[in-house]
Amino acid sequence: MDQSEITKAFTAQAEAMQRLVEGTTSMRQRLVEVEQKMSGRAPGRGGDDDTGELAKIITASEGLKAFLAGNSQVCEIKIPNRLLLKTQIINATGASQPLVPADRQARIVFAPQRRLTIRGLFSQIPTNSNLIEIPTEASFTSNARPQGDTSPGGVEGELKAESAMTFSLSSVAVVTIAHWIPASRQILSDAPRLQGHLESRLLYGLALEEEDEMLTGDGTAGTLNGLNNQATAYNGGVTNDTRLDTLAKAANQLAVGSFEPSGFVLHPTDWLNCQLEKDTTGRYVLGDPGAAAMPSLWGLPVVPTPAQTLGKFTVLDAQRAGWIADREEAIVRIAEQHSDFFVRNLVAILAENRVALVVERASGIVYGNISTAG
Q: Where are the alpha helices (DSSP H) in 69-191?
A: 81-84, 185-190
The torsion angle over the Cα atoms of residues 350, 126, 360 and 255, rounded to 10 degrees, is -100
What pLDDT is attached to residue 148? 78
CA dist 202 and 118 (Å) reads 19
Using only the alpha carbons of the chain, give its radius of gyration: 46
Helix (H) or strand (E) holding 133: strand 131-141
pLDDT confidence bin for 46, thresholds 50/70/90: very low
- DSSP tag of 83: H
User: If we measure between CA atoms, which residue out of 282, 286, 263, 261 comes closest to residue 273?
Assistant: 286
Domain boundary assignment for the chain = 9-84, 119-139+174-285+294-369
Q: Which of 88-92, 296-300, 362-366 has the lowest mean pLDDT?
A: 88-92
**What is the third-level CATH fold of 119-139+174-285+294-369?**
Major capsid protein gp5 fold (3.30.2400)
CA 244 to centroid of chain Cα atoms: 33
pLDDT in tens, 132-156: 999 999 999 999 988 877 766 567 7
Give the residue from 269, 261, 267 showing the smallest Cα distance to 232.
261
Chain mean position to CA 49: 56
CA 53 to chain centre: 59
The 10s digit of each residue's pLDDT in 352-364 is: 999 999 999 999 9
Q: Which of 374, 278, 358, 260 is nearest to 317 (CA)?
A: 260
Flag the least confident range among 37-41, 261-265, 268-272, 287-291. 37-41
Spatial distance between the Cα atoms of 281 and 113, rounded to a whole number of angstroms: 39
Span 36-61, average pLDDT: 60
Stated pTM of the model: 0.72
267 touches 306 (CB < 8 A): yes
Q: Are 65 and 45 in contact (CB under 8 A)?
A: no
Neighbours of 90 (CB within 10 A): 7
The span from the CA of 247 to the CA of 312, in Å, is: 10
Cβ 175 vs Cβ 222: under 8 Å: yes
More reliable by pLDDT, 72 or 232: 232
Where does the chain have alpha helices with state H?
3-38, 49-59, 62-68, 81-84, 185-190, 192-216, 227-230, 243-256, 268-276, 318-321
- For 322-348, the pLDDT digits (tens) are 999 999 999 999 999 999 999 999 999
